[in-house]
Amino acid sequence: MLNIYFILNNKKKIINSLKKRNFKKKKYINKIINLYFKKKKKIQKKNFICNIINNFSKNYDKNKLNYIKSIKKKRKKIKKKINKYNIIINKFLEKIPNIVNKLFFNKYKNIKNNIIIYKNKNKNKNKKNFLTHIELSKKFEIFDTKIASEISGTGFVIFSGFGLKLYNSLVRYLLYINNKYGYKEYKLPYLVNENSIYGTGQLPNKKNQIYNIKKDNLFLIPTGEVPLINLYKNKIFNIKELPIKSQTYTYCFRREAGSYGKKVKGLNRLHQFGKVEIIEITDEKKSNLSLNNMLNHIKMVLKSLNLYFRILLLSCNKLGFTSSITYDFEVYSFGQKKWLEVSSLSNCLNFQSNNLNIFYKKKDKKILCHTLNGSCISIPRLLITILEMYQKKNKIKIPKVLNKFFF
């Protein structure tokens, strides 16, 4: 969430940012500020009473015992009031999205819709009659959603044979190439507690999309970003240690409201899907540099697979709750004749680190880090475009870079 002191000092900037997002409840900002100053007055009263009590303990006076008891009761009431203010302020804070990137006030200040910032050449534009990945699966026995639905319900899949080998080769390749470029790999839990998922901003914003095991108050991760960012909770880095670069392969679990019908058949939208996630933690001055480096890295990965893809800069009203700027990477499904999102790259500035207390130290001063996250990449949708693009009459080829990972 946004830092309360940042809101106090940047009210106009935040309101302008919320306008860009089409956020309707800008009045929350004034409510937060008013509540803060009411709380501040209570804190001053509490401190005044504490000073009286401290002085009494140093200069004990039996005649003042009743008076001290009465003001201790008053202090207790004031503390309860301060806690109430904190709860109410946090309730408002958790509803306010991140500020938008300064690019939306400069270079892209008039952007109203997503814009395509990159598209590579389509080598298959003259070819016709592409089978869909669903038709290819029936022909070559690549995956099975029917049996999966009998086991778990709709939105699940079973891979076997060629499909499983291709799936695993993609995971191995992505982890390998990310590691080569400095992203340290972690194998992380798929279940996290409420504090972890709240810290990265998925709660309460995406509450309806997340699977919750109520008995234990644990949550199935909607993305590897959640446990990966939480690795650094309550950490204070030396500025020379930054940027921190990490990656993980996890299954992701999402309810995906409305996931039925033709548009979501096959591998298009699943409740459980594999994804390789990369993150960077850095300082505010190198934040945009990290964003550009991550963008070029994901772009390089998609190029190495020889896919037809494009990169979109999302408009402000399409940004995720925690993001200040987001680039979506979409690959083309030749069988379905549509674009599919396979990666989303976001700079969250210090929005997440404010929740999770992730700092760096500069000249004995603690400063909140910036966090960035990117899918690299969602496996099922990547499989769709590879199956459809690399199909031949009696077989499916694979990208050359996968050869040594295909076993």
Please write the tens of the pLDDT for every residue from 174-214.
999 999 999 999 999 999 999 999 999 999 989 999 999 99
pLDDT interval class at 61 (50, 70, 90): confident
Shared fold status for 4-97 and 111-405? no
* Tally of CB atoms within 10 A around 76: 12
Please write the tens of the pLDDT for every residue from 319-344.
999 999 999 999 999 999 999 999 99
Instruction: Quote the pTM value.
Output: 0.93
Sign of CA dihedral 180, 184, 189, 194: negative
Domain layout of the chain by residue ranges: 4-97, 111-405
d(CA 76, CA 51): 14
42-59 burial, b if ≥16 CB within 10 A, otherwise e? beeebeebeeeeeeeeee
Please write the tens of the pLDDT for every residue from 2-35.
999 999 999 999 999 999 999 999 999 999 999 9
The CATH class of the 111-405 domain is alpha beta
Three-class secondary structure of residue 143 per DSSP: strand
Three-class secondary structure of residue 280 per DSSP: strand
Burial category of 61 from C-beta neighbours within 10 Å (exposed 0-12, middle 13-18, buried 19 and up): exposed
The hierarchical CATH code for the domain 4-97 is: 1.10.287
